[in-house]
Amino acid sequence: MRLKQIKLAGFKSFVDPTQVPFPAAMTCVVGPNGCGKSNVIDAVRWVLGESSAKNLRGDAMTDVIFNGSTQRKPVSQASVELVFENTQGKLQGSLADRSEISLKRLVTRDAQSHYFLNGSKCRRRDITDIFLGTGLGPRSYAIIEQGMISKLIESRPQELRVFIEEAAGISKYKERRRETETRIKHTRDNLDRLADVREELGKNLDKLRRQAATAERYKELKATERRYKAELTCLKWLFYNNQLQQAEQQLAALELDLAQFETQGSGGFLKLTELKTELDEVRQQLDARQQQYYQLGVNISALEQQLLHQRQRRQSLQDEKRSLALNLQHGLDQIGEEQAQLEALQQQLLEQQPDTELIAQQLEEVTAQLLLLEQQQQDQQQAQLSAQQQQFQWQQKLKQLELQAEHKKLLLQQNSERQHKFTAQYQALVAQDLAGELQQHSEALANSEQQLSLVTAELKVLSSELETQQQQKVQLQLQAQKIAQQQQQLNSSLVALEKEQQKLLQQQPLLPQLQVADGWSVAVAVALSALNFSEITQGHQQDAAGHYLFAQQPQQAASATAAANLASKVSGDVLPAYFAHILLAEDDSSALAMLPHLLPYQSVMLQNGHWYGPNWRIVAGKNEQDNPQALAERAAQLQAELADAKQQQAGVELEQQQLQQQLQQQEEQLRQQQGRAEALKTAVSEHQTKLLLCQQQQQQQQQQLQQLQQELEQLVQSEQQDLASLELWQQQQLEVQAELEAHQALAQDTQAALMQAQQQLQQWRARQQQLSQQQQQQALNQVSLERQLEAARAHLARSQQQQQQLADKLQLLTAQLDLLDEPDGEDQEQLQAWLLQRDELAGEKLQLQNQQSALEQQLRELEQGQHGLQQLLAAKQKQIESARLDAEGFRVRANNMLELLTEQKVNFRELQQNLPPDATESVWQQQLDKTTEALNRLGPINLAAIDEFAQQDERKQYLDAQHQDLVSALDTLETAIRKIDRETRQKFKDTYEQVNSGLQTLFPKVFGGGSAYLELTDEDLLETGVSIMARPPGKKNSTIHLLSGGEKALTALSLVFSIFRLNPAPFCMLDEVDAPLDDANVGRFCNLVREMSETVQFIYISHNKIAMEMAAQLMGVTMQEPGVSRVVAVDVEDAVKMAQA
C-alpha cells in the first residue's frame, strides 16, 4: 500500500485544483521558503483526521481555506483527496479487495467538515479506523514535520509511549478497552438504578397487596349494591306505571266533555264566518276606492311637478350654453401659442446637430492616438522588465559565487578542525581497555538469568493455583445464584399462601378467635361458613344489615361443651350456640344411621367437614385453599424450607468470603512474583544491553581506528582541491561583477525612456477625458430638447381634443333648448280632467264607510256570545292539560327508571320475573342503605390495585431477571478487560524489546559509534512511560537534553527508523528533518533512507543538495503568482538521460 497522488483544491496556498503525483519510492519536494511545500504534508495530516487547528499552523479549522491574495478573492471551501494503491492487500475487511482507495475531506466557511471514502460520505472515525495499527494517522510517527524532531526527543515518557503503542498495533486494543470501560460504567450505573427501583417496587408491592384485598371486598359489596339499586328501580317503575294508567282514564273522561262543548260552539262560528265574509267584501270595495283616490292625487302632483321642472331646465341650459362659448374661444387662443412654441423647439434641435457630430469626430482621433501611445508604453515596460531580469540573474549569479567561496572557506576551516579532532579521537581509542568491563557484564548476566528461571517456575505454580481457586469461585457464585432463585420462589409461594389465608379469614372472621382441637379445623370452618358472621356484638341492638354473633355467657359455654358435639372440639370467648346441636360421627355410615333420630334443629358433622341434616347435606371443599389447617401446615413447611435456604445461603456466602480471602492472598503473591520476574527481566535486559554494548564498542573501536586513518588522508586531499576551487571562483566573481555594472547602466536608460512615454500618455488621456465630457453634455442637451418637443406635441394634441369636445357639447345644448321651447297645453287639459274624477271618488268612499260601520256592530254582538262559550272550552282544556301533564310525568318517571336499568345493563324482564312477590320499596331502600354504609366503612378504595398489583409483581420478576443479566454482562465485560490488558502487555513488551534492540543496532550505524537505548519508567506495562537515552561517540552525557540539535535529530531518526523496521507504515513524510545536519550526517541519513525505501515510500522536503540527489523524483513547488502555489514535477532519471543526450 502506498500513496499514489494528492488532489488539492482551495487548501491553503493551493487555490487551483492541483494534482501531486508520487510515482517513485523516493520523492523530494523542493522550492524556496514560503512557497507552500509544508502545505502538502499538512494536507495529508488533515485528511487523516487532524482536528486541532494548532497542529495545522492555524487558529481555526477554516484557516486551511484559501483566504485570498492581492490578485485573487477568497474561496468558499477547501478539499483534499488522497489516492492509495492497495495492490498488496494490506488493508483488512471490506477494503481488502480494492486495488485503489480514495479518502477525501472537505471543509466550508461554516467550519463543517465532510469525509468521503471512495466517493461515499462517511464519518471521521471510519477514516481513523482504517489506519489503526498501520502507523498512519494525524499524529503518527510516519509524518514528521518541522520541529517535531526536537519534540520527539524532548517529549515526556507518556508521549513517547504513544509511538511504541502505534508500532505495536495496540491502538485498536486501547480503543476497544476504552469502549469496554464505558460499557462497564454504564452497566454499573444501570445496576445502581435497578437496585433503587427494585427496593422501591418491593415496598409498593406490600402496600398494593393490602389494597388489592380491600378492592376485592369492595367489588363484592358493590355488586350487591347494584343489585339492590336495580330491584329498587324496578319497584319504582311498577308504582309509576300504575299511576300512569289511572291518569290516562281521567284524561279520557275530560276529553268527552270537551267534545260536547265544541259541538255547541260550531253553529255560532258558522254565522260569524258569514258576517265576516260580507264585511271583508265591503272593506275590499272601500280599499279599491281609496286606492283610486290616492292614485289620482299622485298623478296630479306629478304632472304639476313636471311643468315646474321644464321651466327650470330651460333656464339652466341657456346659462351653460353661454359658458361653453367663452371656453371655446379661449381654447383657440391657447392652441395658437402652443404651435408657435413647438416650431421654436424644432429649430433649436436642428441647430445643435452639427456641434455633436464635430465632438464625436475629435473623440475618435484622440482615442486612436491614445491606443498608439499605450502600445509604445507596453513595449517600454517589456524592455525594462527584460533588463531588470537580466540584472537580477547576474546579481544572483554573483551572490551564488560569493556563497560558494564562503562555503569553501568554511570547509577548509572545518577540515582543519576535523583533522585535530580525529587525531585526538585516535589517541583516545588506542588508550581504551574494554576486556575487564566485558567479563564483569557476562558474570552479572548469567547470575540474573539463573534467578529469573527460578522465579518463572514459582510463577507458573502460583498461576495454576490461582486458576483453580477462580474456578471454585465461579462454582460458588453459580450455587449462590441457584439458592437465591430457590429462596425467591419460596418467598413468592409464601406470599401467595398468606394471601389465601387472609382471604379465608375475611370470609370467616370468627375463626382466629377459636381454639380448635387437632383435625377438626375443616369441620369448624364448614360450620362457620353457614352463616358467615361479620361481627361480634354484646346483644340485640339496632345494626346494619349483616350476620352478627352475640358474646356468649360462661355458663352457656360450659353447658354447650358438655355433650359429644362440635362445641366440645372448640374453646374460646365467643362460640356460636348452634355448635351444641351439631353432633359428631366417625364416618358417613354412622352419620346416616343417626339422621332418623335427630331433632329438627340438630345435625351431624364428620371430621372431614361433611355435614348432614334431616334433608340436606354439605360436603367440604377438596381444595387446599378451603382448609385452614392445610394452609397453616403448608405455611409452616414453606417457612422451614425458607429457613433452610437462608442457612444454605449463609454457608455459601461464608465459603465465598473465605475463598475470596484466599484468592486475594494468591493474587498478592502472584503480583509480588510477577514484580520480581519483571525486575529480573529488566536486569537481564540491562545486562544483555551492557554486554552487547561492550562487544559493539570493541568492534567499533577497531572500525573507528581504521575509519579515522582513512578520513585523515581524505581530509588532506580535500583541502588541496578546495584551495584550487576557491581561486577559480574568485576569478569568476570579478567577471560577473563587470557584466552586472553594464546591465545596470542599460536598465537606467530604459527607465528614462519609460518615464517620458508615461508623461505623453497622461496628456492624451486628459484630452480624451475632456472630449468625452463634452460629448456627454451634448447628448444630455439633445435628449432634453427631444423630451420638451415630445411634451409640446402631446399638450397640443390634448388641447385640440378638448376644443372638439367643447364644440360637440355646445351643439347638443342647442338641440335640447329647441325641444324645451314646444308648448305644454295638453298637460293642462289632463290636469283638469283628473281633478273632476277625484271629487266623484270621494262621494263613493263615504257611502262604503257607512255600510262598513253597520256590519262591524253586528259582528261585535255575535263575538260576545261566542266569547262566553270559548271561556267554558278553555276551562275544560286546562283540566285536560293538567291531567295530560300528570300522565306525562308518570310516563317520564317510568321511562327514566327503564333508562336507568338500561344504563346499568340490566335485563328488565328477567329482573321483574325474579323480583320477590313481597318486595316493597321501603324494605329494599333499607337494604340498599345498609350496603352503602358497609361500602363507606371500607374507606378510600383503589380499584386499580388488583391489576396494578399483578402488573407490579410481573415487573418485579422482570427486573430480577434484568438484574441477573446485568450482573452476567458485567462479569463478561470485566473478563474482556482482563483479556485486552494481557494482550496489550504482551504486544507492548514484545514491541518495546524489538524497537529497543533496533535502536541499539541503528544508532551506532547512524553516528558511526556510540550507544542508545530505551528504558521504562514504571513496572506496570499498561501505564509505564518510555524514555530514551543516547550517547554519541566519545560523550558520556547524563541526559539527552545535553545533545546538540544535529545529534537530537539523528537520534530521533534512529528511533523512527527502528520503529519503521519493525512495523513499516505505507509511507513516511519528512519535512526538512536534515536541516540541522552537516554534509557527512546528511550522507548517512540519505543512505539509511535509500536502504529503507525498498519497503517504505518516502516523501520528504529538503533544501539540501545531497538529499535532492538521492531522490528518484523531484517535485518542485513554486509561487510565481503571489500567494498561489503550483507544482512542477521532474523525474531525475529522465533528466539525467536528457542531459547526457
Tell me: the pLDDT tens digits for 496-505? 766 665 665 5
Half-sphere exposure at residue 457, Cβ-oriented, CA atoms within 13 angstroms: 5
Strands (DSSP E) contained in 127-246 are 143-144
| Mean pLDDT score, 398-406 | 71
Q: Number of C-alpha atoms within 13 angstroms, CB side, residue 495?
A: 15
Range name among 80-94, 622-636, 732-746 with the lowest pLDDT average: 622-636
Q: Give the integer Cα–Cα distance in Å for 547 and 607.
A: 25
> What does the alpha-carbon distance between residue 1077 and residue 1045 come to, in Å, rounded to a whole number?
8
The listed range with the strongest mean pLDDT (376-390, 540-554, 661-675, 1119-1133) is 1119-1133
User: What gap in Å lies between CA 558 and CA 571, rounded to an integer?
Assistant: 10
- The CATH H-level superfamily of 2-142+1065-1121+1129-1140 is P-loop containing nucleotide triphosphate hydrolases (3.40.50.300)
| pLDDT(546) > 50 | no
Boundaries of every domain in the chain: 2-142+1065-1121+1129-1140
Q: Which 3 state secondary structure label does DSSP give 462?
A: helix
Question: Could you count the other beta carbons within 10 Å of the beta carbon of residue 177?
Answer: 19
C-alpha cell at 135: 502507523
Least confident of 757-771, 821-835, 1095-1109: 821-835
3-state helix, strand, coil in the chain (%, to 5): 75, 10, 20
Determine the average pLDDT of the residues in 826-855.
77
Render pLDDT for 28-61 as a digit per residue (tens, 0 to 9).
999 998 899 889 989 998 998 888 888 788 888 8
65 secondary structure, DSSP code:
B
pLDDT of residue 437: 63
Give the contacts of 829 (CB within 8 A, at least 6 positions apart).
none
The answer on pLDDT for 1094 being more than 80 is yes
DSSP state of 731: H
Does residue 974 carry a pLDDT above 70?
yes
How far is 165 from 1017, CA to CA, in rounded Å?
A: 15
d(CA 445, CA 1012) in angstroms, rounded, equals: 19
Distance between CA 959 and CA 948 in Å, rounded?
16
**Which residues are within 8 A (CB) of 331 and not within 5 positions of it... i.e. 6 or more apart?**
799, 802, 803, 806
* pLDDT at residue number 121: 92
Quote the percentage of the chain above a pLDDT of 90. Answer: 6
Q: Which residues contact 267 (CB under 8 A, 6 or more apart)?
A: none
Per mean pLDDT, which range of 26-30, 154-158, 827-831, 976-980 is the poorest? Answer: 827-831
Q: What is the model's pLDDT at position 541? A: 45
Name every residue whose Cβ is closer than 8 Å to that of residue 120 and which is 6 or more positions away in sequence: none
Residues 6+ apart with CB under 8 A from 513: 536, 572, 573, 574
What number of CA atoms fall less than 13 Å from residue 567's CA on the CB side?
21
Pairing, β 1126-1131 against β 535-537: unpaired
Average pLDDT over residues 918-945: 80
Cβ-in-10-Å burial (0-12, 13-18, 19+) of 607 comes to: middle
End-to-end Cα separation, the chain, in angstroms: 36
Beta-ladder partners of 516: 570
Apex 15 CA angle, 11 and 21, nearest 5: 75
Query: How far, in Å, are 218, 930, 935, 937 from residue 940 at the CA level?
Result: 10, 18, 9, 9
Contact predicate 808/337, CB 8 Å: no
Pick 462 or 903 by higher pLDDT: 903
Percent of the chain with pLDDT over 70: 81
The yes-or-no verdict on residue 352 having pLDDT over 60 is: yes
Residue 11 pLDDT greater than 90, yes or no: yes
Cα distance between residue 1079 and residue 1104, in whole Å: 9
Burial of 140 (0-12, 13-18, 19+ CB in 10 A): buried
Report the amino acid identity of residue 391.
Q
Q: Cell 398489583, residue?
A: 949
Relative to beta strand 1097-1101, strand 1067-1071 is parallel
Q: Which of 674, 677, 687, 701 is nearest to 1013 (CA)?
A: 687
The answer to which of 179-183, 305-309, 439-443, 560-564 has the lowest mean pLDDT is 560-564
Is the confidence at residue 762, as pLDDT, over 90?
no
Q: Which residue has the higher pLDDT, 745 or 533?
A: 745
Residue 1009 DSSP one-character state: S
Residue 552: the pLDDT is 47
991-1036 pLDDT, tens digit per residue, is 888 888 988 888 888 888 888 888 888 888 888 888 888 888 878 7
> pLDDT at position 432, please?
57
Please state, in angstroms and rounded to a whole number, the distance separating the CA atoms of residues 1139 and 1133.
Answer: 10
| Crossing angle for the helix pair 1045-1062 and 945-1007, to the nearest 10 degrees | 120
Amino acid identity, position 586:
E
CA distance 4 to 85: 6
Mean pLDDT of 363-370: 76
In the structure, what pLDDT confidence band is assigned to residue 534 with cuts at 50, 70 and 90? very low
Q: Are 24 and 75 in contact (CB under 8 A)?
A: no
Q: What does the alpha-carbon distance between residue 909 and residue 664 come to, in Å, rounded to a whole number? A: 83
Is pLDDT of 1088 > 60?
yes
- Residue 427 CB burial class (10 angstroms; 0-12, 13-18, ≥19): exposed
1078 pLDDT higher than 80: yes
The Cα 975–Cα 968 span in angstroms is 11
The sign of the dihedral angle between the CA atoms of 1109, 1111, 1114, 1117 is: negative
Average pLDDT over residues 283-305: 78
Residue 824: exposure state from Cβ atoms within 10 A (0-12, 13-18, ≥19):
exposed
Residue 558: its pLDDT value, please?
A: 37
Q: Is the dihedral of CA 429, 433, 439, 440 positive or negative?
A: negative
Residue 793's pLDDT is what? 74
Q: Across the beta sheet with 1113-1118, what order do the strands follow?
A: 143-144, 1067-1071, 1097-1101, 26-30, 1113-1118, 1126-1131
Over 50: is that where the pLDDT of 462 sits?
Answer: yes
The DSSP result for 350-412, as a single string, is HHHHHHHHHHHHHHHHHHHHHHHHHHHHHHHHHHHHHHHHHHHHHHHHHHHHHHHHHHHHHHH
> Model confidence at 75, in pLDDT bands (50, 70, 90)?
very high
What pLDDT does 562 receive?
40
Res 917: pLDDT: 78
Higher-confidence residue: 79 or 722? 79
**Under a CB-based contact definition with an 8 Å cutoff, are residues 86 and 99 in contact?**
yes
**Rounded mean pLDDT, 335-343:** 75
On the 0-12 / 13-18 / 19+ scale of CB atoms within 10 A, 686 is middle
Measured in residues, the chain has a length of 1141
pLDDT attached to residue 545: 44
Which pLDDT value is given to residue 634? 66
pLDDT for the residue 895: 83
Cα-based angle 389, 394, 396 (whole degrees, multiple of 5): 90
Question: What's the mean pLDDT in 208-218?
Answer: 80
Predicted pLDDT of residue 114: 92
Residues sharing a CB contact under 8 Å with residue 979, sequence separation 6 or more, in sequence order: none
At residue 293 the predicted structure's pLDDT band, cuts being 50, 70 and 90, is: confident
Q: What mean pLDDT is predicted for residues 1076-1093?
A: 85
pLDDT of 624 reads 45
Whole-number average pLDDT of the chain: 77
